[in-house]
């Protein structure tokens, strides 16, 4: 059967990138891990040397605060290259003996070929490099498509690739929309795998479009993440971390908390203290280092997020904080920006769209619960399963609850502490596959089992 490729004629940039990646593949895949590692480390150094200009560009392009870009986005992009440049040197393959058959088996891993990498707008360089670094470390050549909303830092990184020593054609960045460039990449027969981070809807579309080619897929999708707060939690730590987990990066992180379940005996106290802490967050000019909450990504997204507040109000929920968004005293140059107050909603039903849909903005819902059994059932009662947090000083309870949550990541008494060695990814509608040192190595290589009969 010949599989037609309708998009190739219409998207020349992807065609050109495929050709460049094909030409570069033999040379790049033949390099030793040590040689590839050296080039990747050099790129990490070069990005780090320009950290400030990358951070400024990321903040201006995305609306995030300069502090977040300086402390999180760019350092993590640097670390992605450093981490995978090191971890590729320590990967091993398997070997088993079968003495009674007189043979041994071992596995061999080889790069897959051309990797298609697609990333979203919320953590632009951070997530793009989280894919590029393991893919090239394993010997693949890549075509990476950043979000059309936030392509500036990807473009800046392009300029450093030659200087770092990447041969032409190893890393190809294609700028373009999802419907054109993204679709052409996903449905190109010569692109062997797709690593995608973005919405569940686009993920589902990618599954369909890539199905005729049986591509390897890694999909990191949306979330509707619960925080479960038991009465024995350390409330000081829990409140400041949960405000952060709800509103960091304007709530535009897939791992952000958007449903907070608080045990009945501490519910009222928690609400009061939580709202007090939220009110202290400073909203305004993203380039001001004292600002905690910057602008949302676009006018359309702001309208979508605000609409959820209206829906909650119409259902009879209580908006504890977040009103008065139009009367924000913003500096003149930000008056037309896409700003809103961090919003706290209470007295809301579990089946409300605000408790079920991924809003991906600075809105968090708080509700009370009675027992451990009840809260596990309710926390699991959404289609997503990406990340959860559990707050309790009872170690037994923490283990019990973590084990029963249908979630790819569970943080207990903390949030967002990551070890890149360990698997990252979601269950249910939050994704397919995992990424991390070993998982990415497995995803970005093909494995072959070889049997040697020796007697």
Collapsing DSSP states into helix, strand and coil, what is residue 370?
coil
In the residue annotation, 254 being an active-site residue is answered as yes
Give the strands of the sheet with 95-98, arranged side by side: 95-98, 103-111, 445-453
Interacting stretch for ligand NAD, rule CB under 6 A, among 181-189, 237-245, 282-290, 338-346?
181-189
- Active-site residue among 7, 238, 254, 365? 254
Which region, left, alpha or beta, applies to residue 235 given φ > 0 means left and ψ of -120 to 50 means alpha? alpha
Q: Helices 74-87 and 33-49 meet at what angle, rounded to 10?
A: 160
Q: Does 220 contact ligand NAD by CB under 6 A? A: yes
Interacting stretch for ligand NAD, rule CB under 6 A, among 10-18, 117-125, 233-241, 396-404?
117-125
Q: Which of 13, 37, 129, 197 binds ligand NAD (CB under 6 A)?
A: 197
Residue nearer to ligand NAD on the CB measure, 14 or 238: 14
Q: Which of residues 130-169 bind ligand NAD (CB under 6 A)?
A: 145, 147-148
Residue nearer to ligand NAD on the CB measure, 114 or 262: 114
Distances (CA, A) of 123 to 9, 146, 362, 403: 31, 10, 16, 29
Q: Which of residues 375-394 bind ligand NAD (CB under 6 A)?
A: 386
Residues 6+ apart with CB under 8 A from 55: 66, 69, 70, 73, 74
- Active-site residue among 220, 358, 368, 435? 220
Q: Does 222 contact ligand NAD by CB under 6 A? A: yes
Q: Does 223 contact ligand NAD by CB under 6 A? A: yes
In the residue annotation, 220 being an active-site residue is answered as yes
Residue 41 CB neighbours (<10 A): 16
Q: Does 258 contact ligand NAD by CB under 6 A? A: no
Residue nearer to ligand NAD on the CB measure, 254 or 375: 254
CA-wise closest residue to 180 among 424, 374, 15: 15
| Nearest-angstrom CA–CA distance, 332 and 321 | 24
The DSSP-derived string for 395-452 is: HHHHHHHHHHS--SEEEESSSS---TTS-B--EETTEES-BSHHHHHHHTEEEEEEEE
Interacting stretch for ligand NAD, rule CB under 6 A, among 196-204, 257-265, 266-274, 333-341?
196-204
- Residues of the shown chain interacting with ligand NAD in the complex, contacts defined by CB under 6 A: 118-122, 127, 145, 147-148, 177-179, 182-183, 186, 197-199, 202, 205-206, 220-223, 254, 358, 360, 386, 426, 431
* Active-site residue set: 220, 254
């Amino acid at each position: 059967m010949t599989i037609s490729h309708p998009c190739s004629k219409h998207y020349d940039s992807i065609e050109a990138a495929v050709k460049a990646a094909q030409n570069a593949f033999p040379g790049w895949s033949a390099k030793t891990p040590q040689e590839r590692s050296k080039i990747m480390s050099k790129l990490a150094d070069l990005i780090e040397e320009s950290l400030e200009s990358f951070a400024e560009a990321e903040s201006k392009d995305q609306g995030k605060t300069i502090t977040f870009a300086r402390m999180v986005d760019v350092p993590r992009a640097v670390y992605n290259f450093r981490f995978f440049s090191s971890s590729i040197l320590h990967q091993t393959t398997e070997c088993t003996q079968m003495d009674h058959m007189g043979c041994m088996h071992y596995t061999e891993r080889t790069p897959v070929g051309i990797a298609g990498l697609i990333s979203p707008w919320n953590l632009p360089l951070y997530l793009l490099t989280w894919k590029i670094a393991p893919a090239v470390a394993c010997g693949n050549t890549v075509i990476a498509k950043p979000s059309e909303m936030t392509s500036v830092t990807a473009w800046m990184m392009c300029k450093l690739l030659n200087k770092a020593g990447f041969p032409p054609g190893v890393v190809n960045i294609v700028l373009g929309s999802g419907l054109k460039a993204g679709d052409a990449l996903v449905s190109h027969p010569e692109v062997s795998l797709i690593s995608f981070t973005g919405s569940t809807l686009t993920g589902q579309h990618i599954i369909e479009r890539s199905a005729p080619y049986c591509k390897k897929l890694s999909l990191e999708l949306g979330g509707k993440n619960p925080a479960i707060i038991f009465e024995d939690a350390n409330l000081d730590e829990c409140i400041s971390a949960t405000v952060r987990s709800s509103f960091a990066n304007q709530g535009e992180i897939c791992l952000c908390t958007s449903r907070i379940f608080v045990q009945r005996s501490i519910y009222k106290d928690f609400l009061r203290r939580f709202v007090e802490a939220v009110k202290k967050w400073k909203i305004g000019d993203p380039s001001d280092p004292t600002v905690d909450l910057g602008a949302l990504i676009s006018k359309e997204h702001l309208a979508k997020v605000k609409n959820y507040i209206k829906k909650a109000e119409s259902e009879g929920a209580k908006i504890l904080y977040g009103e008065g968004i139009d009367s924000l005293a913003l500096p003149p140059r930000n008056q037309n920006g896409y700003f809103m107050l961090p919003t706290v909603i209470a007295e809301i039903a579990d089946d409300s769209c605000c408790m079920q849909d991924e809003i991906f903005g600075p809105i968090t819902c708080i509700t009370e619960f009675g027992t451990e059994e009840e809260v596990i059932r309710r926390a699991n009662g959404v289609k997503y399963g990406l990340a959860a947090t559990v707050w309790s000083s009872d170690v037994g309870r923490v283990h019990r609850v973590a084990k029963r949550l249908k979630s790819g990541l569970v943080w207990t008494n903390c949030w967002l502490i990551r070890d890149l060695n360990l698997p990252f990814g979601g269950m249910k509608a939050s994704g397919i596959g995992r990424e991390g040192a070993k998982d990415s190595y497995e995803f970005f290589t093909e494995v072959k089992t070889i049997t040697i009969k020796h007697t």
